[in-house]
Structure 1
């Protein structure tokens, strides 16, 4: 429980005791020396206090239960008022929990309580102008007190809401700083690997190629050099894959739309496919890690088209909606056969990336009808993890 809520509850208990105690002791004074009358009044007051304590202090269930409390309290109040009209103001104590929670209810109840007290005085013939004035003044004082407390509660809630918003903004800023730091470190690692390991393996492979040309074919040294060349090239390819996984080259100095255009143009150049890129809406600023994940989805989809689809035309559509980003990759290829599941490694990798962004991915295909892969993610998406390997 928040400190303000705890203090408010303590004040509520105090006001209840203040409203119940004096009225009950005043009724005891009016009971004279009759032990039975005193016991009845004390028992009723204790019963009402216990009923209030059960619902607002002793219950473990934090959910409100207004109707059972009000029904029980109203029944006790009716009995108390019938036993001794002096206990009629106890109704104020019953309404204490709603002075802050339901201001309008409480104000209306104060007016009804005053009217009931005046009506009882009229019926018993004890109503005077002074008692009417006292009743009106009492209702006004109760209403003013209630209004003051309700204002304090309202301001306290506003202050708490501002504090919650500030804490959320600070948490969001800290998360953004962590993501920026992670991205900067990934880019630094990519540059370091490219400038050291990648360049080194490339140089080793070139030197070994030159040395192989000076060796006689079939010689033992030639075979060892061939093995070394193969190992150097494998490690060169692995280092390039690591650099690409850390930060796609297409996103360096460019946004997601331009990076998608580059991938489509590359497919058109290398696979003799007519590739179109369509961008709709106003490009939104996405988290860099989100752009990387979306570009990986497009890259994997185009790779699958090159390997399996035998398509002649591909359209990549990037749509910026109000609060979502949608990517559709459509081809006119052979489609995915019914015997081949749509949950392979490539599609599984794409689905994992999109799920990681809190989005959805659908695949529409049919034999000879081409394939459409549609991914939709929130504009505010941030990957839960950024370690998904390249598909």
Structure 2
């Protein structure tokens, strides 16, 4: 029985690790989606019922200023909890991906990013819904969110352009900013992202689907992030 050469052993170990990471990420996505649905179906419905009951109670309460002030304070607190619950659901899982499709989820993520951070954020999308598996949509959205998060934290940018291309063989997402650019040499820059685990995770998720994630200096300034995911061969 022949023993694999060291290089072959490294390749097998790398492939096993990639499969393991892919499985972990899939399980993680499913768990986050499940938790988000529980927050919506259980806690969300209970909070809605409490809001309705409190509204009815306020209508029947004596017109006592102290009681009315306390009830108003309770209603405001309850509305804050409702909003916090909604934000937690979104952070755990973007339901737009499930119900409205990848195209809408990506577009709204860019629009909300621009509004939240008062930054010019442009998005170019195909006219039709992306023709790719659910797993690809999850990775594209995750990568976009991570890219936008890094722009806010590190780029000092004022403009962001997001471009999505969809053809017969692959789907590609490009995120460009006009920030300060890369602080490390381009060669091996992804491998040097010690501490930037979000982008490293996005790279591994792309690799698990047979794709690539690269960073490059912008044409004039800033950084260009590109993720390319090949489409599965038709059965």
Corresponding residue SS for 2:125: strand
Which one of the candidate residues 21, 40, 57 is aligned to 1:194? 40
Superposition deviation, residue 325 in structure 1: 0.3
Q: Paired residue for 2:133, among 282, 287, 310?
A: 287
Task: Choose which of 228, 240, 248 in structure 1 pairs with 2:94.
Answer: 248
How large is the Cα RMSD of the aligned pairs?
Answer: 3.9
Contact kept? 1:332, 1:370, Cα under 8 Å: yes
**CA distance in 2 between partners of 1:268 and 1:308 (Å):** 16
Match of 1:351 in 2: 203
Rg larger in structure: 1
**TM-fit CA distance, 1:282:** 5.6
Matched residues, number: 174
Offset at residue 369 of structure 1 (A): 2.3
Contact 2:132 2:171 in 1 (8 A): no
Whether the 8 Å CA contact 1:329–1:372 is kept in 2: the answer is yes
Match of 1:362 among 211, 214, 223: 214
Hey, what's the Cα distance between the residues in 2 that align with 1:241 and 1:258?
20
**Counterpart-to-counterpart distance in 1, 2:85 and 2:205:** 22
Instruction: Give 1:277 deviation, angstroms.
Output: 0.7
Give the 3 Å change call, closer, same or farther, for CA 263–273 of structure 1 in structure 2: same
The structure, 1 or 2, with the larger RCO (C-alpha pairs under 8 Å, 6+ apart) is 2
For 1:345 and 1:188, how far apart are their aligned partners in 2?
24
The answer to whether structure 1 residue 373 and structure 2 residue 225 are counterparts is yes
- Verify the 8 A CA contact 1:351 1:361 in the aligned structure 2: yes
Give the 5 Å matches for 1:266-345.
266-280=112-126, 283-338=129-184, 341-343=192-194, 344-345=196-197
Residue 379 of structure 1 deviates from its aligned partner by: 2.1
Task: Name the CA distance, whole Å, in 2 between partners of 1:240 and 1:198.
Answer: 12
Cα offset, 1:238, TM superposition: 8.7
Q: Secondary structure at the match of 1:300?
A: helix
Cα offset, 1:378, TM superposition: 1.3
Find the aligned partners of 1:337 and 1:187 in 2 and give their Cα distance: 35
Give the number of the structure whose residues are more often strand, by fraction: 2
Q: Secondary structure at the residue paired with 2:215?
A: strand
Point out where structure 1 has 5 or more consecutive residues left out of the alignment.
Answer: 1-178, 208-212, 215-228, 382-391
The structure with more helix, counted as a fraction of residues: 1
CA distances 1:6-36 after superposition (whole Å, capped 9, x unpaired): xxxxxxxxxxxxxxxxxxxxxxxxxxxxxxx
For the residue of structure 1 that corresponds to 2:99, the secondary structure is coil
In the TM superposition, what are the counterparts of 1:35-50 in structure 2 within 5 Å?
A: none
Identify if the C-alpha distance between structure 1 residues 312 and 196 changes in structure 2 by more than 3 Å, giving closer, same or farther: same
**Cα displacement (A) at 1:326:** 0.4
**Cα distance in 1 for residues equivalent to 2:120 and 2:128:** 25
Deviation at 1:240, TM superposition (A): 5.3
Mapped to 1, the partners of 2:131 and 2:174 lie a distance apart of 19
Q: Which digits, 9 at most, give the CA deviation of each residue in 1:23-66, with x for residues without a partner?
A: xxxxxxxxxxxxxxxxxxxxxxxxxxxxxxxxxxxxxxxxxxxx
- Alignment CA distance shift 1:240-1:273 (3 Å): closer
- In 2, Cα distance between the equivalents of 1:240 and 1:356? 29
Distance 1:186 1:346 in 2: 16
Residue of structure 1 equivalent to 2:6: none
Normalised to the residue count of structure 2, the TM-score between the two structures is: 0.59
Unaligned runs of 5+ residues in structure 2 are 1-25, 55-68, 71-76
